[in-house]
Amino acid sequence: MVVGSRSVRRSRDRVVGIGLPGTVLGVGLGGFVDGILLHQLLQWHHMLSSSDADNVGVPTYSPDTVPGLRMNTVWDGLFHTFTWLAVLIGLGLLYARVTSGRGALWTSRALWGWVLVGWGLFNVVEGVIDHHLLGIHHVRGGAHQLWWDLAFLALGVVLIVVGWLMQRGGTRQPASTG
Amino acid sequence: MTLAHGAHGTSSGALVLVTASAVVGAGYAVLAWRRRREPRGWGAWRTISFLAGIALLVLAVLPFMSPWPVGDLRGHMLQHLIIGMLAPIGLVLGAPLTLILRTVPRRWGRRIGRLLHTRPVRVLVHPVTALMLTVGGMVALYCTPLHQVATDGSVVHHLTHAHLLTAGYLFAWTIAGPDPAPRRPSVPTRLVVLGVAILAHAVVSQLLYAGLVGGPIPAPERRGAAELMYYGGDIAEIMLALAILTTWRPRRGPTARVRAAAASDGRNVGSVVRQ
């Protein structure tokens, strides 16, 4: 990353090549939306809150019992670690990739577009694996849980599309000026 | 009665803090207003950020703002979150040091720059020192009987708040501040230090939740406080992580915009303090 900073000519490329860091950052931030909003504020689900009806034979851990809540909390802790690593690694990669004009990056459409893509990706991957394949928890357990899970996936797809369009608009700009 | 700590702020200590905050906030506003009328200007967001930090501080120490009864651990936790984490981010992003450096005569700026480069200050303003101060304060507060002492004695209580604010400010400044700092480590190093702080914060809040630390406190109160600490801490730390993104500077600024940004950020200090 030090070598890159020596190159002055790269300045125009500053929005190119931030796809990976922006997406990783977005995955982390998306995880926080899920973790803080759904787990904590709304208390819709915990990591293993549907483990009584899962598809892979995870023992039942009801969040209403003390050991069950502890297990759920452990898994929430692992999830917490994952989201934080994604945020910090995303920022680190971003710093390594973008070697100049960092001050302007904060307001660039490309970055926030990729962050939205990452958020959407988080929803889709987390949704498919945890809600549909493993079935260890649902967005909102109950009679209509399939609809909530599908809405979660749909939100993910919308975020990816919107983010993708946003970052495309962002890269076009410097290409035309430089 | 007025000195009873439990009353949280009707004490003279809180009055002093509110007055001091108001004076500092007003001073900042006056200087920012003057700089704003100069050609180089002064960013409105900086002023907003700093004054928001001041407002948070005042809200945190006013007794009637807490939604919980007096002496409740959740009320203390919210207070500590605001004083030690949220308010410092606002204050630091207001770049008060840069404002001072632009206000004072150039030779004073040089003197401040030299002061920043003396060994004690350099050691103090290092992310690892700030990390130890802020994490150490947190561990001392929740993992030792200090918390009981601090809630009983008014002086200890205010000293605790002073420590939280100072350590929190120092940490936010070295990690993400727009203000110049002597020999500030690279962004990757700062991200690692931030990661360690996040880990320590999560671990202490989990220990508190489990009742392994914190002393004899009713379970619902203790768990509520631990959850506030866990998730409130996350929110503050995300803000700090994103603040790095807004304040990191390129090591070389080839574009005009970057050059302008660099110039506006420390003409007085550029020769003395390198980021």
Q: Between residues 203 and 222 of chain B, which touch chain A (CB distance below 8 Å)?
A: 206, 209
- Lowest-confidence segment of A148-157, B148-157, B200-209, B232-241 by average pLDDT: B148-157
What is the predicted pLDDT for the residue at A101? 64
Which of A80, A91, A99 is opposite residue B244, by nearest beta carbon?
A91
Question: CA B94 to CA B90: how far, in whole Å?
Answer: 6
Compute the CA torsion angle A108, A111, A114, A120 (nearest 10 deg): -90
pLDDT at residue B59 is higher than 70: yes
Better pLDDT: B152 or B22: B22
pLDDT digits (tens, 9 = 90+) for B21-57: 999 999 999 999 999 888 888 999 999 999 999 999 9
How near does any CA of chain A get to the CA of B245, in Å?
6
Residue A87's pLDDT band (cuts 50, 70, 90): very high
**Rounded Cα–Cα distance for residues A58 and A136 (Å):** 8
What's the average model confidence in pLDDT over A110-138? Answer: 87
Give dist(CA B228, CA A67) in Å, integer.
22
User: What's the mean per-residue pLDDT of chain A?
Assistant: 76
Q: Six-digit token pair at B153?
A: 């004695």
Phi, psi of A22 (to 5 degrees): -60, -40
**Greater model confidence, A174 or B46:** B46
Q: Say which of A6, A36, A101 has its CB closest to residue B258.
A: A101
What percent of chain B has pLDDT above 70? 85
| Cα distance between residue B123 and residue B170, in whole Å | 12
Helices marked H in chain B: 12-36, 44-61, 73-81, 87-93, 96-103, 106-116, 119-124, 127-143, 146-152, 154-176, 187-210, 219-247, 256-264
Nearest to A141 by CA among A49, A66, A54: A49
**Six token digits for residue A117:** 């893509």
Query: Could B254 and A100 be called an inter-chain contact, meaning their C-beta atoms sit closer than 8 Å?
Result: yes
Among the residue ranges A77-86, A164-173, B126-135, the one predicted with the least confidence is A164-173
Planar angle of CA B8, B10, B12, nearest 5 degrees: 105
Q: Tell me the per-residue pLDDT of B65-118, one tens digit each, with 9 for 90 and over.
A: 777 877 788 888 998 999 999 999 999 999 999 999 999 999 999 999 899 999
Hey, what amino acid is at B193?
Answer: V
Q: CB–CB of B245 and A8 under 8 A?
A: no
The predicted pLDDT at position A178 comes to 31
Closest-approach residue (CA) in chain B for A84: B195
Residue A7: is its pLDDT beyond 50?
no
B185 burial type by CB count under 10 A (0-12 exposed, 13-18 middle, 19+ buried): middle
Q: Can you give the pLDDT at residue B45? A: 92
Per-residue model confidence (pLDDT) at position B26: 96
Banded pLDDT at B7 (limits 50, 70, 90): very low
With 50 as the cut, is the pLDDT of residue B5 above it? no
- Residues B252-259: what's their mean pLDDT? 44
Cβ–Cβ gap B187/A73 under 8 Å: no
Decide if pLDDT at A57 tops 90.
no
Distance from CA of B241 to the nearest CA of A (A): 8
* Mean pLDDT on A7-15: 43
Residues belonging to chain A with any Cβ–Cβ distance to chain B shorter than 8 Å: 1, 5-6, 8, 11, 29, 32, 35-36, 40, 73, 77, 80, 84-85, 87-88, 91-92, 94-96, 99-106
pLDDT at site B50: 97
Average pLDDT of the residues in B213-235: 85
Residue A13 predicted with pLDDT over 80: no
Mean of pLDDT values over A128-150: 80
Confidence of residue B206 (pLDDT cuts 50, 70, 90): confident
Q: Cβ B238–A29 below 8 Å, yes or no?
A: yes
Please check whether residue A128 is in contact with residue A149, taking contact to mean a CB–CB distance below 8 angstroms: no
Q: What was the pLDDT predicted at B28?
A: 96
Answer yes or no: is pLDDT of A170 > 70: no
Q: Is the pLDDT of residue B146 over 60?
A: yes
Helices (H) and strands (E) in chain A, counts: 6, 0
Task: Please give the mean pLDDT across all residues of chain B.
Answer: 82
Report the b/e string of B110-126 with b at 16+ CB within 10 A.
Answer: bebbeebeeeeeeeebb
3-state helix vs strand vs coil in chain B, percent to 5: 75, 0, 25
Phi-psi region of B70 (alpha: psi -120 to 50; beta: other; left: phi over 0): beta
Cβ proximity of A123 and A30 under 8 Å: yes
Q: Is the pLDDT of residue B252 over 60?
A: no
Distance from the Cα of A12 to chain B's closest Cα (Å) equals 9
Please answer yes or no on whether B194 and A88 come within 8 Å at the CB atom: yes
The whole-number pLDDT of residue A143 equals 75
ipTM attached to this prediction: 0.78
Q: CB–CB of A68/A39 below 8 Å?
A: no
Non-local (6+) Cβ contacts of A168 within 8 A are A113
With cut-offs at 50, 70 and 90, classify the pLDDT of residue A3.
Answer: very low
Distance, in angstroms, between A38 CA and closest chain B CA? 12
Phi, psi of B211, rounded to the nearest 5 degrees: 80, 15
pLDDT band at A64 (very low <50, low <70, confident <90, very high): low
**Position with higher pLDDT, A111 vs A171:** A111
